[in-house]
Structure formats: C-alpha cells, structure tokens
Amino acid sequence: MSELVREMPFAERLGIAVESATRDEVRGGLDWAEDLCTAGGVLHGGALVTLADSLGALCAFLNLPADASTATIESKTNFFRAVRSGRVSGRARPLHVGRSSIVVQTELADDEGRPVAVVIQTQAVLR
C-alpha cells in the first residue's frame, strides 16, 4: 500500500500509512509525533484533516471511471477529542458515487476506538 501514499507526497511526508484500499473502503493511519502537534502536545487538526483528506481522496480515486481524475471541492470536519499519544486510524467510505461528484465520509478514531473526528468531503469527477 505504500505505493499509493507515494502518489501523495505531502501525506507520505507526514507519515500517513494506507493499510487497505478498495472501492468500498480505504483504511489507514497516522502516528502521533511531537513535530505534528500544536500547543500542549495535541496532534494538530491540520494533520488530522490531512489524514482524512488523503484517505478520502484515495477512496474517491478508486471509484473514478477510467478516463477521469478527482479534486476535493468541499470538506467539512467535526472534531470530537484531542489526540496526545498513540495512533489515529481512519476509515473512508463512499456515501455517493455520481457522474460529476463523489462524496466520501472518513471517520478517525484513537487507539481506544473513540471517535476523534468525522470528515465529509466532496470530490469533483474531472474528465
């Protein structure tokens, strides 16, 4: 799965790992690291959104027709709890696969399975 992350250099730089990837579900994660934190040792929201956006974009990509590409056109994030250690795991699933857009929901959880954030993003289908 590392070849998929190599296609997203920023995600690779942050240390995002893709564990499985199908049209129906993409799973991956990000380890807590001090250099990815904001004040107080809390994993930065931008790192969490990058994880969700990367998994969601990959899910959308896997649902594209052969002659198309994709780009995020909208993203909405709800944060539920801070992450101060461990690993954040994500699961992205398509909510809608249409001819002009794909909507993906990505759920992020901490090591104990508690919700960290939910991101819903819309990806344009570019032909």
Domains defined for the chain, CATH in brackets:
2-126 (3.10.129.10)
pLDDT at 3: 85
Can you give the pLDDT at residue 75? Answer: 97
What is the torsion angle, in degrees rounded to the nearest 10, for the CA atoms of residue 92, residue 119, residue 60 and residue 96? 90
pLDDT at position 80: 98
Q: What is the pTM of this model?
A: 0.96
* The two three-digit tokens of residue 20, written as one number: 């499985």
pLDDT along the chain (127 residues), means of 10: 84 95 98 97 98 97 96 97 98 98 98 98 97
What pLDDT, on the 0 to 100 scale, is given for residue 76? 98
User: What pLDDT score does 1 carry?
Assistant: 67
